[in-house]
Structure 1
Amino acid sequence: MQDAVSKPAAVSAAAHPPRHAARGAGLGLKSLMAVAVGLVVSQGVMVLMLQGVGIAGAAFIVPLAIAWVLALCYAASFGELSLMIPRAGSLSSYTEVALGHFLAIISVFSGYVVVAMFALSAELLLVNYLLGVLYPAIEGTQYIAFAILAVFTLLNLLGIDVFAKLQNVLAFAMVVALTLLGVSALSGGFAPHQFGASQLAADFNLGDGALTLIALAIWGYVGAEFVCPLVGESRCPERHIPRSMYLGLTLIFVVFALYCLGALFYVPRDVLTSASLPHLEYATAAFGGSGTLLLAVAAITATCSTVNTSLAAVPRMLQGMAEQGQAFPVLGWLTRTTRVPWVAVLFVAGVTGLPLLIWGNDPSTVGLLLVSAAIAWLIAYIIAHVNVIALRIRYPEAERPYRSPFYPLPQWVGIAGMVYAIVHASPAPELTAAVFTNAGVVLGVVSVIAVLWIKLVMRKPLFRPEPLENPA
């Protein structure tokens, strides 16, 4: 095992980023891009993107592009924060210095821990359901979902080197499969188009509610900042952390644009919005019987990649919070040899498996849960943008190995865009109450827990920032 895997704890104690401490670590630009892409491109996102293009048609490319710009804005903020305060706790570490402990705990638990629980469960539920449809002999069983979760839990306990090698392979296979599906659909190389380009152009209409789909489109880009908790394991982080997010998000935009537009040549829009597995309808129409195999590869690799990335990044956020007193100390326990936060890994795996026992194989709640979770995630992004502004005001002379370009434009654009997306988060009027209720309950419960923890355990003020030079 490389020396780098023992560094997160040491790095987390530093107020300023050591420019050379992580240079011998094992994660380079390609590995970090694989992390960014691997978490974002999930099977749930594959479904939501097709639902978006089903609602708005080819005009969905507009909210998809706007969401890409907003994603670049959050990448700029996270890039600056992660190099200024390079700790495993990620957003909680930045927020406690900028805005205090209450918002630090809210940002991570609502934006990452709870969201990861729902998103990972949805991913495993979807792959389980899809394989049951493709191969009826296994329909109704949850063994596949739990097996995938168990395998990647074990592999992440083995250490960061195994994680990186797996992530590169999974991300490459997933991007190739989705790109092949989109390019082949656009070219009509395997099956004649059911709809012509002229018909798609005639249906292009932003008045069909396309701009209200920005929140749904943003869900196609959330999670690229999961590279930030890996700053201690990164090689040349001041260059590779920001670039991996920018390049990863741009690659995602291109792949999703091809994927979504290709679907319109083969599948009616009402089918894309109503089908439980619209990506299966898409692959079958574009490739016939062979499309099911391609989709199975894309779906399984997307799910495995998402699970792998989350089990690597979220536990390290919890580890950082434990080291700063914002969570139970046991979540910071590390294995002796690989220096992995093993209790945190098992905790994330456990809360992921619990909803699978409750939901079974019903995919009908996936879209609702993902959009509800997106609201919590967008709030976390707003906090990140506010962090950058607050720290620029409080510590204008502090060392910043990476500075957000065009400050403060990306921060204000990001905040405005995220607020707009939250207001229009519901993809359908009948789902509005359920979407905001789910998000509200999550944020309410986390807020109560955060107040009790800070007041009774940490015994600190809720909104007093910690000094940058001496973090708690």
Structure 2
Amino acid sequence: MYDPDITLSPPHVEGVVTKGKLSKTLGLGALLSVSIGLVVSQGVMVLMLQGVGIAGVGFLIPLSLAFLLALTYIFSFSELSLMIPRAGSLSSYTEVALGHFPAIVSTFSGYVVVAMFALSAELLLLDLIINQVYPGVFPHMSIAFGVLVLFTLLNLLGIDIFARLQTALATVMVIVLLALGLAAVSGSGSEPALSASLPQEWNPMGTGVLVLVAMAIWGFVGAEFVCPLVEESRRPERNIPWAMIIGVTVIFLTIGLYAIGALYYVPQDQLASGALPHFLYATALFGETGKHVLVIAALTATCSTLNTSLAAIPRMLYGMAQNGQAFPQFKKLSRGFNTPWVSVLFVAAITGGPILLMGDNPGAVNQLLLAAAIAWLLAYIVCHLDVIALRRRYPQLARPFKTPFYPLPQLLGILGMLVSIYYASPTPEMAVSIFTSAGVVLGLVSLIAVLWIKLVMRKPLFTPVPLDEVLARK
């Protein structure tokens, strides 16, 4: 847990911009908006409604278990990010704990590849929703590319612009989702409810509902995106852990109310099978007005996810470049705004590429997205292993945050993530193709990592880097 007597050194003055280095400007509010904003996407809004459509009120059981699993990875990332406060995040922790190969593979496959497909799907889904509500108003794919270009430019203008935007986006998004849930539960929607009460059989699936933990966990992945911002955070020893803990707690309460509220207005079978259940929910609750409410929710969710990704992932690449694990161009900072501009443009480019290839069919990436999401959970497993390895290698090292009840959260986290991976496929028929796709992604990243480490870095694959060497890097 947080130790107030330990601080990260050297101390930094609030708002100071150091030439050639990232500047300390982010407080608890900005970091909290990052942890919330990345997690709650349109994809999450859809998946949570599908889950409650399958299990009814019983979906609160896997949702609660997923929340506890999220706390385990938050404890691990908090301990690691404050012990090794570097923008490279997982790559920096893992090179010290396990070596360069797992560091590169876990970071690229678990974040860069996932973001490539997740952000593209989010933008395509936003374009689809807006054109369904306002048909013929906007040119084909103009919304997707317009939003991408806008937030790329805004992130190039500096971390303070990002923080202001992210706080506003996350606040509006949570308010809209809470408004939907409260209006539904209280019966104050403009349209009549299906029923004045929830189904009497609250958990028809029995113990089988535990299988849905794999679905529920997607509602909590991504809070650790605050960790690559540690070099730009004020009082990170306090703000980094609390931003993630408070963030997932707010998400748990918001998603729970939002999902349960849907049961009052939309038949369960439609929630479970609908491609756009949040559209059904909003229109059943508020009629035609609900369409505009949904546009606000979709716009803020997608923009918040995109804004956070364009801030955090470039910082990961910046840190990896400093570690020698990626192209040195990724560590270039702009003169006026101290932003890793090459990394920002790279993430924007890999986001826009799939949109061009897929056209207006966001369903085309669903399989690849699920496959890449497996790699995300593998990255969480690596994070837990990092904590265990570093506790053994550096037992006496001062840690600003210590995992409570160590190593129980790490062991439960590893087990829970493995179970979630096993049940990642929505149907047995899709399992082979999803795991094959995941294998291809991991195989390609692994091959590139081996070649880079051996031919460019000229380092061993699995030899941990001394901690002092990583902390001494400028």
Shorter-chain TM range is over 0.9
Q: How far apart, in 2, do the equivalents of 1:117 and 1:197 lie?
A: 42
- Aligned-residue CA RMSD in angstroms? 1.5
Q: Which runs of 5+ in 2 are unaligned?
A: 1-6, 16-23
Aligned in 2, Cα 1:94/1:238: closer, same or farther, shift over 3 Å?
Answer: same
Corresponding residue of 1:63: 62
Q: Is the 8 A contact 1:61 1:257 kept in 2?
A: yes
Q: How far apart, in 2, do the equivalents of 1:443 and 1:405 lie?
A: 32
Corresponding residue of 1:308: 307
> Deviation string for 1:125-171 (max 9, x for gaps)?
10000011111114771011000000000000000010000000000
Q: How far apart, in 2, do the equivalents of 1:201 and 1:433 lie?
A: 38
Aligned in 2, Cα 1:164/1:304: closer, same or farther, shift over 3 Å?
Answer: same
Q: 1:39-438 maps to which residues of 2 (within 5 A)?
A: 39-138=38-137, 141-190=140-189, 191-198=191-198, 200-207=199-206, 209-365=208-364, 367-438=366-437
Q: Percent identity among equivalent residues?
A: 60
Corresponding residue of 2:469: 470
Aligned in 2, Cα 1:341/1:40: closer, same or farther, shift over 3 Å?
Answer: same
Runs of 4+ with deviation above 3 angstroms: 206-209, 365-370
1:20 aligns with 2:19: no
Amino acid at match of 1:20: P
Aligned in 2, Cα 1:358/1:45: closer, same or farther, shift over 3 Å?
Answer: same
Quote the offset at 1:269 in angstroms: 2.0
Aligned in 2, Cα 1:168/1:136: closer, same or farther, shift over 3 Å?
Answer: same
Q: How far apart, in 1, do the equivalents of 2:371 and 2:450 lie?
A: 23
Q: Is the 8 A contact 2:187 2:196 kept in 1?
A: no
Q: How far apart, in 2, do the equivalents of 1:145 and 1:429 lie?
A: 33
Deviates more, 1:400-409 or 1:387-396: 400-409
Quote the offset at 1:414 in angstroms: 0.5
Q: How far apart, in 2, do the equivalents of 1:271 and 1:238 lie?
A: 45
Quote the offset at 1:44 in angstroms: 1.2
Amino acid at match of 1:289: E
1:298 match: secondary structure: helix
1:152 match: secondary structure: helix
Aligned in 2, Cα 1:298/1:160: closer, same or farther, shift over 3 Å?
Answer: same
Q: How far apart, in 1, do the equivalents of 2:42 and 2:355 lie?
A: 16
Q: Is the 8 A contact 2:34 2:225 kept in 1?
A: yes
> Deviation string for 1:180-234 (max 9, x for gaps)?
0011111111132213535x23152233842112121111111100001111111
Amino acid at match of 2:104: I
Q: Is the 8 A contact 1:22 1:237 kept in 2?
A: no
Aligned in 2, Cα 1:209/1:260: closer, same or farther, shift over 3 Å?
Answer: same
Aligned in 2, Cα 1:445/1:138: closer, same or farther, shift over 3 Å?
Answer: farther
> Deviation string for 1:72-96 (max 9, x for gaps)?
1100000000000000100000000
> Deviation string for 1:306-334 (max 9, x for gaps)?
00000000000000001111001111111
Q: How far apart, in 2, do the equivalents of 1:420 and 1:22 lie?
A: 44
Corresponding residue of 1:8: none
Q: Is the 8 A contact 2:8 2:237 kept in 1?
A: no
Deviates more, 1:83-92 or 1:333-342: 333-342
Deviates more, 1:289-298 or 1:130-139: 130-139
Q: Which runs of 5+ in 1 are unaligned?
A: 1-15
Amino acid at match of 1:195: S
TM-score (norm 1): 0.94
> Deviation string for 1:44-98 (max 9, x for gaps)?
1111111222222221111111010000110000000000000010000000000
2:184 match: secondary structure: helix
Q: How far apart, in 2, do the equivalents of 1:209 and 1:348 lie?
A: 39
1:129 match: secondary structure: helix
